[in-house]
Structure 1
């Protein structure tokens, strides 16, 4: 009877673990419940699955280490507990060389493994397209966004067009009452974003794309990717940047190439043409902004 009871206690956690493992076959669970995937497992960008894979694999390894550690702690607490009739301290052991080597080598291997896979994926994420199909300058400002569409070259814009955004406004219930800035991208086209700031440090974050990059005054940052799914995605600033940081929102609309070209044409028709890259920067004389110095003065 006692043997059967013990077997039942062993079978219960195994059954639960098996159910969890089988549930992991769904795309949502397999991707760690992260955003950026549709019900069929389709990803928002060409990098989304890689980022989710690094995330879920890291959690699996960490949880496995945790389970083993907790099991060993539980086993030691039960196997070496004080028994009835015992008194005093148990025999004290020290300098167990095999165990100490294991406790040293195993964490080193884990840390090196995390570093290697992170460095590998980061190198891919930080590789910029040499000749993107689309290059867009995204400019952060307190507390909104400007977007300038430069054709296929941010360094030498060809007939650039732009939109200037305003800060999100909310009513008493916290609902947004105005149109937030919108970034339009063509699906399945190589996109490079040139990230800049007009005032303070911001962070450009498209939630479903599972990546974000900082934006610095007087310095350009870049992010290259290929949107692979049409739809509207939420973007926001991920760096505390002042009183209305939480209102620094925008939307990303991924559309077909024909819709994208129509959108660019509509901006031209509205007269929203020209280079607004540095023209509206708050710190006109800050190093690196390219602002002209007054006569007799020099930018540092």
Structure 2
């Protein structure tokens, strides 16, 4: 009687299948946790739900890239499985198959195809990046966002008013959001952010915008957004800037034009008129000139 060989490859295969299954389930679970309160789901590729026109462009690029990558992955896995089945060793095989040192057509194929894929990815990424940082259109609202350790100041240039931010007080109790500054934006209107920093490098990031940009002392960076829906969103610094980096937070309220104008009036009534000194004068901010620092707040 022929005994079963305990060294059969079935057990390793079984273990491999179990490992792959566990890895897939873990990936799905972690993906669900990552979306969290940012409202990401399968329709956005688990990115946060975009609330700007530029954010919708980012989502489209992201999903398109994943579709291409998954298609390539399935093709590679399919060819691998086919090769395993078609060229597996049979019981009646007594000799090794012909050993090839190289195959010119195949080598050209797996060199040229990845290069073409990279070129395509680069084209669409460069196209969308150019659109996201384009500031050639005239904005309806211009906000000078000033980063500082560890909060934010907002200068509303057209209305000549400002908002002073203080560091967040995180106690774990409700009401912490009331201690951080709030940036008001009108829905459906083009907003230009003029980004400056007083001390070290910061990064202005609103996750729901799917766009962020560094704030570098002595340099003016800028980008534009068009908010597409009203609501309250969270913002934060995305560049490690010191001991309290995690508490450098702010709120964003996208509101109607009437509510936006009312908030500007409230700032005037609170005597928060004029622009805060952030080492750049108003003319330089509006024209986009890079002016070297000349003083503090």
TM-score relative to the length of structure 2: 0.77
Q: 2:85 aligns with which of 57, 78, 90?
A: 78
Query: Residue deviations 1:224-243, cap 9 Å, x none?
Result: 11111111111111111111
Task: Write the distance in 2 (CA, Å) between the matches of 1:126 and 1:185.
Answer: 19
Correspondence for 1:20: none
Taking the TM superposition and a 5 Å limit, the aligned residue runs for 1:226-265 are 226-265=226-265
Give ranges in structure 1 of 5+ residues lacking alignment.
Answer: 1-26, 38-43, 152-158, 281-286, 293-300
Correspondence for 2:134: 127
Correspondence for 2:294: 290
Conserved? CA contact 2:177–2:251, under 8 Å: no
Conserved? CA contact 2:145–2:155, under 8 Å: yes
Task: Write the distance in 1 (CA, Å) between the matches of 2:124 and 2:92.
Answer: 53
3-state SS of 1:114 partner: helix
Taking the TM superposition and a 5 Å limit, the aligned residue runs for 1:39-188 are 44-86=51-93, 89-151=96-158, 160-171=160-171, 176=176, 178-188=178-188
Conserved? CA contact 1:196–1:221, under 8 Å: yes
Correspondence for 1:277: 277
Q: 2:42 aligns with which of 16, 29, 34?
A: 29
Task: Write the distance in 1 (CA, Å) between the matches of 2:262 and 2:172.
Answer: 37
Conserved? CA contact 1:144–1:165, under 8 Å: yes
Query: Residue deviations 1:26-59, cap 9 Å, x none?
Result: x95332132235xxxxxx1122221100000001
The 10-residue stretch of structure 1 (65-74 or 256-265) with the greater mean CA deviation from structure 2: 65-74
Conserved? CA contact 2:196–2:278, under 8 Å: no
Query: Residue deviations 1:144-182, cap 9 Å, x none?
Result: 11111001xxxxxxx621111111112257983752111
TM-score relative to the length of structure 1: 0.76
What is the deviation of 1:117? 0.4
Conserved? CA contact 2:201–2:241, under 8 Å: yes
Task: Write the distance in 2 (CA, Å) between the matches of 1:149 and 1:141.
Answer: 17
Q: Which structure's residues are more often helix, by fraction?
A: 2
Give ranges in structure 2 of 5+ residues lacking alignment.
Answer: 1-39, 281-290
